[in-house]
């Protein structure tokens, strides 16, 4: 399914663990941009649905494009979000891109994440979809717990 919210759970957890290093916004943006490919291929009836942007090379290029777009927007005075540094955007976009390919590798039979070096995908169904989705939800819940604990600690001090 294109642009599944399950991808955001691990991103929320990574952001909760390292909020000053990981931009959740960039993480989500990378995930959405990568799945524009699968949405387009689904609508056009093209196979494989998960193609170049669902390889580690393609996903890394998506992250690079997001970093360049953010850098350009910042130079043009359009990046107004406080605390959103180029480093945070780069780390968030790369983690978003790579975890997207990783999770989709478990889920989808048509993905070839290691092209052009290998057409194989050793991760397909390495765990059940219930475990995969449960792990993503658990990561999102962990993020809420960490975020809540951090707010409580800040409020007390
Ligand atoms: Zn995908």
> For residue 76, how far is its CA from the centre of ligand 1 (angstroms)?
31
The residue with greater pLDDT, 139 or 1, is 139
CA distance 38 to 152: 41
pLDDT at site 66: 97
| Segment 62-86, tens digit of pLDDT | 999 999 999 999 888 886 677 889 9
Q: 79 near 73, Cβ under 8 Å?
A: yes
| Segment 3-49, tens digit of pLDDT | 678 999 999 999 999 999 999 999 999 999 999 999 999 999 999 99
The residue with greater pLDDT, 53 or 75, is 53
> For residue 54, how far is its CA from the centre of ligand 1 (angstroms)?
6
> For residue 19, how far is its CA from the centre of ligand 1 (angstroms)?
24
Report the pLDDT averaged over residues 97-123.
97
Tokens of 55: 């390889």
pLDDT at site 82: 75
> For residue 31, how far is its CA from the centre of ligand 1 (angstroms)?
7
3-state secondary structure of 36: helix
> For residue 151, how far is its CA from the centre of ligand 1 (angstroms)?
33
Contacts of 122 (CB under 8 A, 6+ apart): none
- Short-list 1, 16, 7, CA closest to 59: 7
> For residue 1, how far is its CA from the centre of ligand 1 (angstroms)?
7
pLDDT at site 1: 52
> For residue 50, how far is its CA from the centre of ligand 1 (angstroms)?
7
Report the pLDDT averaged over residues 101-123.
97
Tell me if the bond preceding 48 is cis, omega within 30° of 0.
Answer: yes
Q: How far is CA 76 from CA 3, 65, 67, 72, 87, in A?
A: 29, 16, 14, 6, 18
């Amino acid at each position: 399914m294109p642009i599944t919210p399950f991808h955001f759970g691990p991103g929320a957890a990574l952001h909760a663990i390292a909020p000053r290093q990981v931009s959740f916004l960039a993480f989500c943006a990378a995930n959405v941009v990568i799945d524009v490919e699968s949405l387009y291929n689904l609508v056009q009836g093209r196979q494989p649905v998960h193609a170049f942007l669902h390889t580690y090379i393609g996903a890394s290029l998506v992250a690079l494009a997001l970093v360049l777009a953010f850098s350009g927007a910042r130079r043009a005075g359009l990046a107004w979000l406080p605390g959103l540094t180029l480093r945070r955007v780069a780390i968030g976009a790369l983690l978003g891109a790579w975890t997207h390919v990783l999770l989709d590798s478990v889920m989808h039979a048509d993905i070839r994440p290691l092209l052009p070096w290998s057409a194989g995908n050793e991760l397909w169904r390495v765990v059940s979809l219930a475990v995969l989705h449960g792990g993503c939800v658990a990561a999102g819940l962990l993020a809420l717990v960490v975020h809540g604990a951090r707010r409580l600690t800040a409020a007390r001090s």
